[in-house]
Amino acid sequence: MIVLAGTIGAGKTSLTKLLSQHLNSQPFFESVDDNPILPLFYKNPQKYGFLLQIYFLNRRLDEIKGSFDNDLNVLDRSIFEDSLLFKLNADLGRATQTESNIYTSLLNNMMEELPDEQHQKAPNLLIHIQVSFDTMLDRIKKRGRSFEQIDKDPSLYNYYKELNERYQKWYDQYDLSPKMVIDGDKYDFVEDDQAASDVLRQIDQKLESLNLK
């Protein structure tokens, strides 16, 4: 599988669509618009944070198992960065450290239960879409999900800022699989067809170097 990583508004869903079409493979999208818990979490993160993480954990495990039939299937975000998000919530008081520790332990145990004989557990390639904080805020505002807007909840500003900084540190330390970075500020692959072509070419070159294409 190929996994896309990146902060909120980085363009993961858009690149998942582009890349899966380009590779003629299956996309697996993060549950957002059909997620009944996400709006509740933004209203009351302390109450719904742990439940939201368990919801995502269940969905992401299904996605990993569903992607086993093709090494080029594309996942829009994945289980591999979930601990980053929940640890941030705990550090900011939006969840408890106990909940964070329990979640991380549960995640590790469930990953061990994935069948080794069927497929590798780590992705064939992780692609991190790196964007600046200003770009992140601009895209969150542009896509218009009401529960994500800073003008509705000013405390989200610090949450988003810290999240963007931690993603870079997380990517630097990530060592479970081959990885690459896409400069989401330089290549606006959502709005610019030439930028999209450039990004797909970069990914093709990486896949070829890994003998996956």
Q: Which residues are designated catalytic?
A: 76
3-state DSSP call for residue 119?
Answer: coil
Distance (Å, rounded) from C-alpha 200 to C-alpha 189? Answer: 9
CB 3 within 8 A of CB 128: no
Distance CA 205, CA 213 (A): 9
Distance CA 1, CA 68 (A): 7
Asked whether the beta carbons of 95 and 89 are under 8 A apart, the reply is yes
The residues near 171 (Cβ < 8 Å, ≥ 6 apart) are 5, 128, 130, 179, 181
